[in-house]
Structure 1
Amino acid sequence: MSILGERRLAAIFVADIVSYSRLVELDEASTLVAVTDLRRRLFEPLLAQHHGRLFKLTGDGLIAEFGSVVEAVACAAAVQKQLPDWQARIPAERRIVLRIGINLGDVLVDDQDLLGDGVNVAARLEQCCPPGGLLISGTVYDQLSGKLDCRFEFAGEQRLKNISRPVRTYSLVFDNVLEGAKVAWASSDRPTVAVLPFENMNGDPEQVYFSDGISEDIITELSRFRELMVIARNSSFSFRGKMWTLAR
């Protein structure tokens, strides 16, 4: 019997495999086995550990519900940190790279499924997330202060598809941001853009904030073009003051 109509507040976790179609084209059977293995050996134990409930599987991802924002973010961070080591022996072109988005919002219960704006925003955040990253909404970020040993950086107000209001977003900062940038670069099947921080030419330290703001605005605007893969601020800004040649 359907219980459609019940509402509750939930942290919604959406994960998706980057370049899934490319992986399937390379080797469909092996990719399907790898995805199933990933869910059973990595996702399901971490979901259980952090009290999450898997309520929907897609061909290239999954959606889970958490009663705690802190547990949802801790689970996502653990997934992204453990995944590279979990498949270290797999050839680079065959490795699975994930994007994860998390939102805290009101959801509508339909038996075992969840519907509504809270789920939709999480799904859109996942689509905006850089490969290998974690992107959370402002409603999630506001609940995390002092509760997790994770650092997030403001990723701008995003205009999400079919969501009328702008959504404040934050991106998880990994210790190995340079490596994260390389993973994103190699994994994307779209043109990839990195916006480096502008150099402060006048020597006034107070102007660094202004110049960084310009770079962040450019990143935010470029991120609205779905045909581009835009490297997150925390990765591109790690090149500050360095001379790098970035190529595929």
Structure 2
Amino acid sequence: MRTEHFTTAGALAAMPGIADGPQLPERRWAAVLTADVVGYSRLTSLNQEQTYLLYKAHRRELIDPKIAEYRARFAKSTGDGILAEFETALDAAQCAIAVQERMVERCKGESVHRRIVFRMGLSCGNIIADREDIYGHDVNVAARLQTVAPAGGIAMTEKVAELVGPSLHLPLEDLGVQQFRNMCHPIRVFQCRVPGESIHENSAESLV
């Protein structure tokens, strides 16, 4: 599948503007993945068209197919990033790792001025979903985690780490408890670094 928006069958049958009245949101458990491009503003200031075309190529050839392969229930573009929902934390984590590992291969030999590097956040819990979007605390948590993830890597909540850790082929590093802006309670964060992503660190990780 090469689209930027995956939905449940029910959502596809009730596209915006077609439904004949307001629809109550669905409450469900989900694993939430967020991702964005490290240093996207810097990249676009250097070459806006080239950055756009590279980003779209990575989405079309790798990220969107992987999201579909791991059975995302919902996904959408968020400008230079992605928001996706999965039925299980393991699906979300394996999808994130698969994408980051392939991105290392795709970026080999590329100039720092062309290289697209993603960072990702993973959370899980009860969310609210309607035909257009997903909402809730854990959607916000995933977005916050993505901002502290290493370039080319993944940050996740303690709950996600407990659910997926034994099944992953990569080690998880405990970053301890962190307090995020506008969040009432601190969150214990774990991170996963994909081997080889260190080629990105000096070039992009601190440039947001």
TM-score by length of 2: 0.84
Contact 1:4-1:108 within 8 A present in 2 as well: no
Q: Check if 1:73 corresponds to 2:93.
A: yes
Q: Check if 1:98 corresponds to 2:121.
A: no
1:169 to 189, 192, 199: 189
Structure 2, unmatched stretches of 5+, are: 1-18
Deviation at 1:145, TM superposition (A): 4.2
Distance, in Å, in 2 between the alignment partners of 1:173 and 1:84 is 11
Give the total of aligned pairs.
Answer: 188
Q: Check if 1:112 corresponds to 2:132.
A: yes
Q: Map 1:17-56 onto structure 2 (within 5 A).
A: 17-56=37-76
Distance, in Å, in 2 between the alignment partners of 1:57 and 1:189 is 23
Q: Check if 1:11 corresponds to 2:31.
A: yes
> What's the C-alpha RMSD, in Å, of the aligned pairs?
1.8
What is the aligned partner in structure 2 of residue 151 from structure 1? 171
Letter in 1 for 2:116: I
Q: Check if 1:186 corresponds to 2:186.
A: no
Deviates more, 1:49-58 or 1:3-12: 49-58
What is the aligned partner in structure 1 of residue 141 from structure 2? 121
CA change 1:185–1:57 in 2 (3 A) is same
Letter in 2 for 1:139: K
Structure 1, unmatched stretches of 5+, are: 191-228, 230-248
Deviations 1:77-114 (A, max 9, x none): 11111102113243222100111000001111121310
Deviations 1:41-99 (A, max 9, x none): 01011112211245221221010011011010001011111102113243222100111
Contact 2:25-2:129 within 8 A present in 1 as well: yes
Contact 1:10-1:65 within 8 A present in 2 as well: yes
> Higher RCO, 1 or 2 (CA under 8 Å, sep at least 6)?
2
CA change 1:119–1:170 in 2 (3 A) is same
What is the aligned partner in structure 2 of residue 87 from structure 1? 107
Q: Map 1:194-209 onto structure 2 (within 5 A).
A: none
Letter in 2 for 1:55: A
Contact 1:50-1:75 within 8 A present in 2 as well: yes
Distance, in Å, in 2 between the alignment partners of 1:40 and 1:54 is 17
CA change 1:65–1:28 in 2 (3 A) is same
Q: Of the two, which has the highest radius of gyration?
A: 1
Contact 1:4-1:109 within 8 A present in 2 as well: no
Distance, in Å, in 1 between the alignment partners of 2:61 and 2:206 is 27
CA change 1:161–1:69 in 2 (3 A) is same
CA change 1:150–1:8 in 2 (3 A) is same
What is the aligned partner in structure 2 of residue 195 from structure 1? none
SS of residue paired to 2:167: coil
Distance, in Å, in 2 between the alignment partners of 1:168 and 1:119 is 16
Distance, in Å, in 2 between the alignment partners of 1:70 and 1:43 is 17
